[in-house]
Structure 1
Amino acid sequence: MSSAPSDRAGVARPGPVVAGGAEVRVQDLTWRPFGRSRAVLAGLDLVVQPGERVLLAGPSGSGKSTLLRAVAGLLLTADSGELSGSVTVGGHAPQEVPGEVGLVLQDPGAGVVASSIERDVAFGLENVSLPREQMRPRAEAALREVGLTMSPDSSPTTLSGGESQRLALAGALAMEPSVLLLDEPTAMLDATTAAEVRGVVAAVAARRGLTLVVVEHRLEGWLDLVDRLVVLDAAGSVVADGEPRQVLAEQGQALAVQGIWVPGVPDPEPLSMALEPVPGATAGTVDRGRVVAGATGLRVEHRSRRLGQRSRTTLAADGADLEARAGRTLALVGPSGAGKSSLMAALGGLLPPARGAVEVALPLTPAEAGGGGPARERLTPPHEWSSHDLARVVAWVPQRAATALVGRTVRDDVLTTPRALGQDRVVAERRADALLSALGLAHLADADPRQLSGGEQRRLAMASAVAHGPALVLADEPTVGQDRLTWAAVSGVLAAAREEGAAVVVTTHDPGVVDDADRVVHVTAPVQPAPDPEPERRPLLARVGPLALLAAAFCVLPLPGLLDTWRQGLVVLAAEVALGLVGLLAPGHGRAPQGRLRGVLTRLAPAALAVAGVAWSAWLLGGRDLEVASAAALRVLCLIVPSAVVFGFIEPEALGDHLAQRLRLPARPVVAATAALQRLQAFDALWGELMATRRVRGIRADRGAVARAREAVVVTGGLLVGALGQASALALAMDARGFAEARRRTWAGPAPWRLPDTVALGAGLLVVAVAVAARLLLP
């Protein structure tokens, strides 16, 4: 093949397209989401020819992502609403041929379905019943095609943003689709990584002759790689369609006015606005140009642990020095995965540093701000402040804007922190309404914030962050997913916060935001410590298959009916503890695994409430007899202990393999349960994000058992809402790879039954035998 020409970014341009894709035909498509009075798409007509490469643009909220989901046949998978019209791919309904349409979501991490990159790529191949022996070569070929060269066993959680995009692309390409749909694939990537991703997409589409539809706000970089530009207006109607350069030459100025990022048109000026002063606000407390918050020698670490694996420590920042000054904007820039977000969060007291110090200007500390605390609080680092004290000073716009939502309505969300801080109600409401109006959200004031689009949620998070006049505003990628008009609004709010005296810190890949900053700091990824060359020994339970572990735990289900007295329960519990301790042993050569017993005790902690509740009830109803209460508590404990021991060693993916292949259970519920268990492992991270949000919004319960219990209930509800959001994104990603139409399924992983499995099952039966013997021999 002759070498292809290069574009200005140095990315190889594809040669002539060999039409091998499928035709996409959209006729009179109308979609109105549940709870919205206006349709997102109204009577849309669009035809994409086989092998055509289309760039789809439009202002924020114009229905671009909605159109992609409709073409993929997934509009009703995770959303509810009124749908009419028709969409065909290759002359038939989408998803009629599993894998014919590949959809890569804007957040590629939301669609990860496996614990290794090879298994994740193979997920779609399982859905189309490809024989196992053909899966590995196909998955490895897809990984090579997108340039992922690390070990196939690598965890998706270790990938950078650009690598995650490549993994999602490999998962779609492995199924050999005819149509490839990409939703803002470079929105959160640095310029170098974005150019690499564009090059991969263009080369693969040309080599395979795919029909390609790419959604992007920023057109530059894609224009030389596509054949056609289609632009939607705010109402979801096509207002421009044709050869990209010609469309921009003829309609560029008009499109820019509508909010399209037209190359060559200067960036808009930030929206000019003045925020009404709030009595008691901390913005402006520190003289302009003086340090609001400073960090020296900052080291930030992240620790994570997956079921059955040792904890993993990632170094996010090391030896960093940073200063945020009043009335100034500091921009943190650098490649994806460099640790910008972690550094910013540590500066604002949202993360405790592993080493180094963070100091806040004295007028902002709790002791100096009238909090009534002792003078030593001047030296207290912000990560130890109370929720109320932190919220007075710090505001945070997280990268995942959905985790920042705490109100029942959009307006209620903006007013949450002013109310928590006891600010003047009338002034707070006027300021909130002004912010919503400036950010184009006034018409959504009474809407549920969780029903907003991603760009709208990000703007809402911005409004809620500055509503109370904080002294330090932390904004993580605040302009992602914004068109020209909403970009100007977001930039205007940041400028307004700066003008009222706040120190503004942003992480960004946006050159317009960088140009507007007073100071720019380039952040580079710290060198990770070398892994210990000595392998870690595996506990005996880690060598047992998941089905045997599950069966051993289920063996104890008859125990409540076998045990009558506390003496019998104590004997059985002793046997369970002894067998559990044996299972936690890790014989062999290498390092001893850490946290085995601590993990079991952690899993037992929630069960302690159930045991105490049963004991209390039995004591009250049993004539306040301690023996009756003890026996009831021990019965419950004997039922729970085996599960607490083995659960930490059941890997969801392997469990799904065994349930489907060994027990012949239906594939769909097995895969759904496996995906749910994998998401369960991420609940601790989501819980942490929700609690951090409540803390910085001033509504976290810092004291009082009753208040904390009430908060736990509220956060649990938020956790479930967040889990449902994650489940919706995961369902989209799974169905985009053929899961919805998979009637028969093959499995990439084997499901062997080995000697340790038999031993583990025997241990479970031994516990039952001990219970029978105790019932016969002990009173």
Structure 2
Amino acid sequence: MTRTPVPVAATEAEPPVVATGAVGVSGLTWRPYGRRDPILSDLGLALPPGQRVLLVGPSGSGKSTLLRALAGVLEVAESGELAGSVTIDGEAPHTRPGAVGLVLQEPGSGVVAATIGRDVAFGLENTGVPRAAMPARVTAALGAVGLTMPEDTPTHALSGGEQQRLALAGALALEPTLLLLDEPTAMLDPGNAAAVRTCVGEVVAARRLTTVVVEHRLGPWVDFADRMVVLGRDGRVVADGAPEVVLAERGAELVDQGIWVPGFPAPEPASLPPGLFGPGTLGANEVAVDAADVTVARSVRLVSGGTRTTLAVDGQWLQARAGQSLALVGPSGSGKSTLLLALAGLLPVDDGVVRVHPTLARHGERHPAEWDTLDLARTVAWVPQWSSSTIVAGTVLDEVMATSRAVGLVEAEAEGRAHALLDLLGLRHLEQADPRHLSGGEQRRLAMAAAVAHQPALLLADEATVGQDRLTWAAVMGVVEALRDAGSAVVLTTHDEAVEARCDRVVTLERPVQPPAPPTPRRPLVARCGPLSLLAASAAAIPAGVLSPRWTATLVVVAVQVLLGALALVSPGDGPQPRGRLRGVVTRLVPGVIGALSVAWSSWLLGGRDLEVAAGAGLRVLAIVLPSAVLISHIDADALGDHLAQRLRLPARPVVATAAALQRVHTFGDVWTEIARARRVRGLGASRRSPRTVLAELGALTMGMLVRSLQAAATLAVAMDARGFSTAYRRTWWAPAPWRVADSVLVVGSLLPLGVALLARAVL
């Protein structure tokens, strides 16, 4: 069925738009395997076309689960018992590509492409939109959500709030009949949140979209919605009607359930057991950490191979004092999270200095970035924006106890405090559960418990109350204020006005003024080739290395490869020379050199200790890996998918899935860094005084990467299928896949070492 988008301003001469997007839910029940009770229980709903629904309920009531069911992706990443049915205009959601636009709760985990323009276009490709029509729709969607940076901006360079807007742009570009938004403004500052709500309202009105919005904070969305559906903790509908009617009749009851009802003040923070935290190390109002004129620049690698450097924090001054809480506020992208990392000693500063109070200094060193992992863990706690990155243990209780055990606290005392924190935060019944299986809100509360259980002198929490209902918000703030009252210094980044109102001091950050962009560096010759020729040239090295007869011939092959590699890295034209080309090749070549030396050593031992045999074996390995060290880094995963599908006519589904997976490889460095930071600040990182812990840390980081990659793959599958990937039977492509003269030259040049090997084989 072809759907024609409704223009924003229709003229009287145009025919009336036929409303679509009628949603039917009948007997929907969902119980994930391993859970005793269902999340959704015999749920029934009917949404007429164009209706705007505000779906509310306490944490754990199944709101996000219902959105996934409406999108037809409930079983993509989870297994369980599913009963009942969901239809859109009488058809199952997954049978209509592009009919549903879904914005996930953690939008960054659903990024499918390397650049923001390509990411927004992903759904358009799946629904068969002609290439010529894509740029306008991509630009309009990005502009509608306020993402004004270049469309080649790397997706991994976006802040949490910017990733949220990118996910919304991807959903709006589809022009769906049903729009599903899971806390679409949770990570945004008030100004950007209002702009996004306005954008959603205009698009929904113009296209008459059926819309379901999940939000904990009802106030800003009440005027948008014409229906409110309330889910109880058992996954059943407990209230349904016009928002003003439901709020008037059951407002107080909803507040008691934990729902943020407009007109009711924020709750008082929950109380912790007396004496849970002892007296702090510093005296009241002493400066625990001082940031003086701190500047942090962030560099991101572009798909084209160059880099783009921006100022994340510019000349910031800050003091966090013992016994006080400080709120960092400001628009998305103003550097709040970056400054928090700098205060924790987890990110080096480019200018300025971060110092702690002399009493907190370790071994006379006042700069946290120079401390050993245990020294850092004793003093500093960090709660990141996405708390899944800090999980280091296999059970909830062990997660809370991890830092206390690492720094050597008494087990019985630490366990008593852990139980009390889990009780307050509503997690005691989950203490033997795997923390990776908790909901997003539960993981954030767990991260807070794990951060404060050993009573650090400095707590740095990034958006700690996002995704919390009134009851869990009161619990989180109770923990924060109890730690503050015990004498610790607390710094919170937040967009939550209720949190801001309870803090002792507020510091507002502004987006740094960016310096003029430097001239674009010249592109190396190899960067002007397509992915297929790069792969072919890398593969040509395999027979060249295998067929080379003697070490002398192989040495000539390697010499030819070195000359060709140097030529490939030449950058003719105007503009500055690109930097780091040789360093990058050497870095990528290190594993290959180690492998070549290992093979040479083994051949020497097993080959009668013949140096010629050893040299030949080692040089063959080097000949095989050397071209890849020069070429592979220039392969763009998205472009590879384009070329495999359009030029080689490979099936679109495996090609796109492979390209999306390869795109994630570019983020492995960032993920590795996140996990390493979490382990370092929890006292589990490698000690600078112990080589043994370095090996243990490498193993832990590798396992963490594996687990995180599996989790990311599941979420990525949901994000892709939510934008029509599973039913993309008639797919178009955002970018062309040309074969240029440069590609032919590269392939011919890559055959020269093979020719040398064959000639040597014939002569010798």
TM-score range, shorter chain: over 0.9
Matching residue of 1:594: 579
CA distance in 2 between partners of 1:224 and 1:307 (Å): 42
Contact persistence 1:29–1:44 (CA under 8 A):
yes
Aligned to 1:536: 521
Which residue identity lines up with residue 115 of structure 1 in the other structure? Answer: A
TM-score, reference length from structure 1: 0.93
CA contact (8 A) 2:592 2:621 kept: no
Note the C-alpha offset of 1:60. Answer: 1.1
Once residues 107 and 366 of structure 2 are traced to their aligned partners in structure 1, the CA distance between those partners, rounded to angstroms, is 39
Equivalent residue in structure 2 for 1:352, among 335, 348, 360: 348
Q: CA deviation at 1:274?
A: 3.7
Aligned runs of 1:638-677 on 2, under 5 Å? 638-677=623-662
In terms of mean alpha carbon deviation, does 655-664 or 38-47 score higher? 38-47
What amino acid sits opposite 1:595 in the alignment?
Answer: G
1:392 pairs with 373, 378, 385, which one? 378
- Structure 1 Cα separation of the partners of residues 741 and 608 of structure 2: 49
**Residue 433 in structure 1 maps to residue 419 in structure 2:** yes
Residue from 409, 420, 437 that aligns with 1:451: 437
Q: What's the secondary structure of 2:249's corresponding residue?
A: helix
Partner of 2:3: none
* Distance in 1 between residues matched to 2:28 and 2:311, nearest whole Å: 48
- Work out whether residues 275 and 431 of structure 1, in 8 Å CA contact, stay in contact via their aligned partners in 2: no
What is the CA deviation profile of residues 163-205 of structure 1, one whole-angstrom value per residue up to 9, with x for unaligned ones? 5444323322332211000010001111111111001101110
Is residue 129 of structure 2 the alignment partner of residue 130 of structure 1?
yes
Match of 1:209 in 2: 208
> C-alpha deviations, 1:90-135, integer Å up to 9, x for none?
1111111111111112233333323343332221121122332333
Alpha-carbon displacement from aligned partner over 1:69-97 (angstroms, at most 9, x marks no partner)? 01000011122222222111111111111
Asked if 1:303 corresponds to 2:299, the answer is: yes
Match of 2:535 among 535, 550, 558: 550
User: SS of 1:740's equivalent?
Assistant: helix
Q: Secondary structure at the match of 2:743?
A: helix
Task: Decide which of 311, 318, 321 is 1:315's aligned counterpart.
Answer: 311
* Aligned 8 A contact 1:162 1:197 in 2: no
Change in Cα spacing, 1:275 to 1:450, as seen in structure 2 (3 Å) is: farther
Per-residue displacement from partner, 1:742-762 (whole Å, max 9, x unpaired)?
A: 123221211111111000001
* Structure 1 position 726, deviation (Å): 2.2
Show the counterpart of 1:370.
none
Using the TM superposition, give the Cα deviation of residue 153 of structure 1 relative to its aligned residue in structure 2, in angstroms: 4.1
Partner of 2:510: 524
2:716 corresponding residue in structure 1: 730
Report the Cα distance in structure 2 between the residues aligned to 1:710 and 1:663, rounded to whole angstroms. 44
8 Å contact from structure 1 (residues 571, 774) kept in 2: no
Counterpart residue number, 1:37: 36
Unaligned runs of 5+ in 2: 1-5, 10-15
**Shift of residue 294 of structure 1?**
0.9
Separation in structure 2 between the aligned mates of residue 161 and residue 461 of structure 1, nearest angstrom: 18
Q: Residue 375 of structure 1 aligns with which residue?
A: none
Q: 1:143 to 1:291 in 2, by over 3 A?
A: closer
Residue in 2 aligned with 1:72? 71
Amino acid at match of 1:118: G
In structure 2, the CA distance between the partners of 1:21 and 1:529, relative to structure 1 (3 Å rule), is: same
- Partner amino acid, structure 2, of 1:763: G
Q: Is the 1:386–1:702 Cα contact (8 Å) retained in structure 2?
A: yes
Q: Which residue of 2 aligns with 1:11?
A: none
The percentage of aligned residue pairs carrying the same residue is 57
Distance 1:591 1:116, change over 3 A: same
Q: Find out whether 1:699 has 2:684 as its counterpart.
A: yes
Structure-2 separation of matches of 1:83 and 1:620: 61
Structure 2 distance, partners of 1:767, 1:632, is 17
Q: How does 1:234-253 map onto structure 2 within 5 Å? A: 234-253=233-252
Partner Cα distance (2:469, 2:399) in 1: 23
Q: 1:148-297 maps to which residues of 2 (within 5 A)?
A: 148=147, 150-157=149-156, 159=158, 163-274=162-273, 276=275, 284-297=280-293
Distance 1:225 1:480 in 2: 21
Structure 1 CA distance for aligned equivalents of residues 137 and 511 of structure 2 = 33
Greater Cα offset, 730-739 or 211-220: 730-739
Distance in 1 separating the partners of 2:341 and 2:165: 27
2:727 alignment partner, SS class = coil
Q: Does the CA-based 8 Å contact 2:297-2:311 persist in structure 1? A: yes
Equivalent pair of 2:227/2:242 in contact (CA under 8 Å): yes
Q: How many residues align?
A: 751
In the alignment, structure 1 residue 482 sits paired with structure 2 residue 481: no
Corresponding letter in the other structure for 2:684:
I
Q: Deviations 1:331-384 (Å, cap 9, x if unpaired)? A: 1111111111111221121111111111111221122xxxxxxxxxx2441101
Deviations 1:548-585 (A, max 9, x none): 11111111222343134322221111111110010000
CA contact (8 A) 1:299 1:356 kept: yes
CA distance in 2 between counterparts of 1:738 and 1:513 reads 39
Aligned AA (1:292)? A
- For 1:117, the aligned partner's letter is I
Q: Determine the structure 2 residue equivalent to 1:496.
A: 482
Counterpart CA distance in 1 for 2:100 and 2:438 is: 26
Structure 1 counterpart SS, 2:76: helix
Name the structure 2 match of 1:7.
none
Counterpart-to-counterpart distance in 1, 2:275 and 2:595: 52
Distance of 2:500 and 2:262 partners within structure 1: 18
C-alpha contact 2:531 2:635 (8 A) present in aligned 1: yes
List alignment gaps of at least 5 residues for structure 1.
5-16, 368-377
Conservation of the 8 A alpha-carbon contact between 2:109 and 2:712: yes
Asked if 1:472 is matched to 2:458, the reply is: yes
Does 1:628 find its partner at 2:613?
A: yes
Contact 2:287 2:322 (8 Å CA) reproduced:
yes
In the alignment, which residue of structure 1 is the partner of 2:406?
420
SS in 2 for 1:221: helix
Provide the C-alpha distance between the structure 2 equivalents of 1:206 and 1:231, rounded to a whole number of angstroms.
Answer: 23
Seen in structure 2, the aligned counterparts of structure 1 residues 456 and 275 have a Cα distance that, compared at 3 Å, is farther
Residue by residue over 1:250-302, the C-alpha shift from the partner in whole angstroms, topping out at 9 and shown as x without a partner, is 00000100000010111110001146557xx8x61111211111111111122
CA distance in 1 between partners of 2:342 and 2:140 (Å): 41
CA contact (8 A) 1:275 1:500 kept: no
* Corresponding position of 1:8: none
Partner of 2:12: none
Q: Is the 8 A contact 1:616 1:629 kept in 2?
A: yes
Check whether the contact 2:168–2:184 (CA below 8 A) recurs between aligned residues: no
Aligned to 1:630, the other structure's residue is in SS state helix
Alpha-carbon displacement from aligned partner over 1:579-608 (angstroms, at most 9, x marks no partner): 001000001111000111111112122333
Q: Cα deviation per residue 1:129-180 (whole Å; 9 max; x = unaligned)?
A: 2332333344344445555555444444555555544432332233221100
Distance 2:346 2:323 in 1: 22
Question: Is 1:381 aligned to 2:367, yes or no?
Answer: yes
Instruction: Give me the whole-angstrom Cα distance separating, in 1, the residues matched to 2:493 and 2:150.
Output: 31
| Aligned position for 1:373 | none
Give the letter for the 2:84 counterpart: G
Which one-letter code corresponds to 1:180 in the other structure?
A: L
Match in the other structure for 1:343: 339
Displacement of 1:18: 7.4
Contact kept in structure 2, 1:324 and 1:504, CA below 8 Å: yes
1:763 equivalenced with 2:762 (yes/no) = no
Supply the RMSD in Å over aligned alpha carbons. Answer: 2.0
> Residue 75 of structure 2: SS of its match in structure 1?
helix
Task: Indicate whether 1:686 and 2:671 are aligned.
Answer: yes
Equivalent position of 1:512 in the other structure: 498
Instruction: State the alpha-carbon separation in 2 of the partners of residues 270 and 643 from structure 1.
Output: 58
Partner of residue 117, structure 1: 116
1:402 and 2:388 correspond: yes
How high is the TM-score relative to the length of structure 2? 0.95
The separation in 2 between residues aligned to 1:18 and 1:255, in whole angstroms, is 37
Q: What letter is aligned with 2:183?
A: E
Q: CA deviation at 1:777?
A: 4.1
